[in-house]
């Protein structure tokens, strides 16, 4: 396996034998096809004309005044589909097409990644099957309707806890059985090599744009970048362009409600030993912890291997932000700036507020990675909006 699948000993490709070959083929296709001018031209054309890139950077004046630090938002919620997911699904969809694959499969938890995959499947005319736990299908009806409207087949997974982990297993089995004509479109910077480095590559357009934009707007680079971390794709997509700069990285993990119910392996787990989970070596939540977050997009029990490495190197810090803190930031951003964020980036906003209160940095660039339409039911219940 290539060295580049390792992040300080995290990551790698820990899979059963039948998956070795298709993953090696995918790694080769990624390395050979993605750098070509033809691929890059098509990818960036579609990111612009289909996706709406570049997304702007916005200086949040009210929050800046209130928090006592300059707060800038990368407006990734304005990307087609309402979140950063399309950068990755478009990149992988085009790679699959160029590599001669004829169908896409994906797993989805809350349905956001499934929807972004279904959009690209429709646009590229590739038959698309989305594996989704039965429990999630019941909870996320609207996204199931969206995927079906877009022409994707939603396959219920009824084993085990009927959640995201089981959907991943079902998708991996499909991939092993149909590797010749199928691309498995993984939704975050997680899983076996080459997925973490491939998803980073496609999402790093976020940071490349933001680095230029904040220089223009603010005159210099920010002191720190802040992003929420589920699997870690929007965070690594923002951080990567700043890796050689004197810019600190902060990840907001879903601290849930207390020490027994969270999805925050880097900030709240007690065990220090890395584990092998879904094909990668990384950190996961403790055995006796219930996997939970108020935001469906963050309740993943592990984290992308590069984040585990960045923490170990001291290059990034990860902080748990609880459900209530995230909900408060969700409301504050809506009222102060007229932007309704998704509950996921509300965790990043809450962390930025804390960092500013501690006077750690003067300028913070926060990835506003999704919009809040999908969270209105939760908000209505919480804030008595009816």
CB of 20 to ligand PLP, least distance (A): 25
Residue closer to ligand PLP, measured from CB, 89 or 128 = 89
Cα 363 vs. chain centroid, distance in angstroms?
23
Q: Which residue, 140 or 233, has its beta carbon nearer to ligand PLP?
A: 233
We find the least distance from the C-beta atom of residue 134 to ligand PLP, in angstroms, to be 20
Shorter beta-carbon distance to ligand PLP: residue 179 or 310: 310
Q: Which is nearer to ligand PLP, 70 or 249 (CB)?
A: 249
User: What is the Cα–Cα distance from 306 to 7, expressed in whole angstroms?
Assistant: 6
Q: How far is the CB of 166 from ligand PLP (least distance, A)?
A: 18
Closest among 201, 183, 194, 199 to 280, alpha carbons compared = 194
Cα separations in angstroms, 18 against 164, 176, 179, 186: 22, 6, 10, 18
* Closer to ligand PLP by Cβ: residue 5 or 370: 370
DSSP state at residue 56: P
Q: Report, in Å, the least distance between residue 33 CB and ligand PLP.
A: 23
* Residue 316 vs 342, nearer CB to ligand PLP: 342
Residue whose CB is less far from ligand PLP, 233 or 278? 233
The tokens for 217 are: 């707007």
- Find the shortest distance in angstroms from Cβ 347 to ligand PLP: 9
Is 156 buried (19+), middle (13-18) or exposed (0-12) by CB count in 10 A? middle
What residue has token string 């004197």?
246
* Cβ neighbours around 363 below 10 Å, total: 20
Alpha-carbon distance of 177 to 22, in angstroms, equals: 10
Residue 160 C-beta: closest distance to ligand PLP, Å: 22
User: Do you find a cis peptide bond into 54, omega within 30 degrees of 0?
Assistant: yes
Q: Are 218 and 70 contacting, i.e. CB atoms less than 8 angstroms apart?
A: yes
CB of 106 to ligand PLP, least distance (A): 12
Shortest Å, Cβ 25 to ligand PLP: 24
Is the bond preceding 194 in cis, omega lying within 30 degrees of 0?
yes
| In the complex, minimum distance from the CB of residue 79 to ligand PLP, in angstroms, rounded to a whole number | 10
Pairing mode of beta strands 6-7, 103-108: unpaired
Please name the residues in contact with 270: beta carbons below 8 A apart, sequence gap of 6 or more: 286
DSSP-based helix, strand, coil % in the chain, nearest 5: 50, 20, 30
Dihedral sign for Cα atoms in the order 373, 374, 378, 381:
positive
Q: How far is the CB of 123 from ligand PLP (least distance, A)?
A: 19
By Cβ distance, which residue is nearest to ligand PLP? 370
Helix (H, G, I), strand (E, B) or coil at 83: strand
Sheet with strand 316-322: strands edge to edge: 57-59, 70-74, 363-367, 224-228, 248-256, 316-322
- Cα distance between the two ends of the chain: 55
Q: Chain centroid to CA 28: how far?
A: 24
Contact residues for ligand PLP, defined by CB under 6 A? 83, 85, 112-113, 188, 228-234, 297-298, 342, 344, 369-370
- For residues 176 and 252, which CB has a smaller minimum distance to ligand PLP in the complex? 252
Nearer to ligand PLP, 179 or 365 (CB): 365
Toward ligand PLP, which CB reaches closer, 70 or 121? 121
């Amino acid at each position: 396996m290539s060295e580049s699948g390792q992040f300080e000993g995290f990551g790698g490709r820990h899979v059963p034998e039948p998956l070795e070959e298709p993953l090696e083929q995918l790694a080769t296709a990624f390395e050979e096809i993605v750098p070509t001018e033809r691929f890059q031209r098509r990818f960036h054309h579609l990111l612009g004309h289909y996706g709406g890139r570049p997304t702007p950077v916005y200086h949040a004046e009210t929050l800046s005044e209130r928090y006592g630090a300059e707060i800038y938002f990368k407006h990734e919620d304005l990307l087609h589909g309402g979140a950063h997911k399309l950068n990755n699904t478009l990149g992988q969809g085009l790679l699959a097409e160029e590599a001669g694959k004829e169908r896409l499969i994906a797993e989805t938890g809350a349905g956001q990644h499934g929807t972004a995959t279904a959009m690209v499947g429709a646009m590229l005319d590739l038959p698309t099957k989305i594996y989704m736990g039965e429990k999630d299908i019941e909870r996320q009806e609207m996204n199931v309707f969206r995927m079906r409207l877009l022409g994707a087949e939603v396959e219920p997974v009824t084993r085990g806890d009927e959640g995201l982990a089981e959907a991943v297993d079902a998708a991996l089995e499909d991939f092993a059985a149909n590797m010749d004509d199928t691309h498995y479109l993984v939704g975050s910077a997680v899983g076996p090599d080459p997925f973490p480095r491939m998803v980073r590559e496609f999402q790093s357009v976020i940071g490349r744009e933001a680095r230029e934009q904040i220089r223009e707007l603010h005159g210099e680079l920010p002191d720190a970048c802040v992003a929420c971390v589920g699997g870690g794709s929007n965070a690594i997509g923002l951080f990567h362009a700043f890796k050689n700069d004197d810019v600190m990285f902060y990840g907001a993990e879903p601290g849930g409600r207390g020490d027994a119910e969270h999805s925050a392996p880097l900030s709240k787990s007690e065990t220090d030993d890395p584990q092998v989970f879904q094909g990668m070596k990384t950190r996961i939540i403790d055995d006796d912890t219930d996997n939970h977050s108020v935001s469906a997009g963050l309740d993943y029990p592990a984290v992308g291997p590069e984040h585990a490495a960045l923490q170990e190197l001291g290059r990034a810090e990860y902080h748990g932000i609880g459900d209530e803190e995230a909900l408060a930031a969700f409301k504050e951003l809506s009222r102060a700036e007229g932007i309704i964020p998704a509950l996921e980036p509300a965790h990043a906003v809450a962390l930025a507020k804390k960092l500013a209160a501690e006077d750690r940095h003067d300028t913070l660039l926060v990835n506003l990675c999704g919009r809040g339409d999908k969270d209105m039911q939760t908000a209505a219940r919480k804030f008595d909006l009816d």
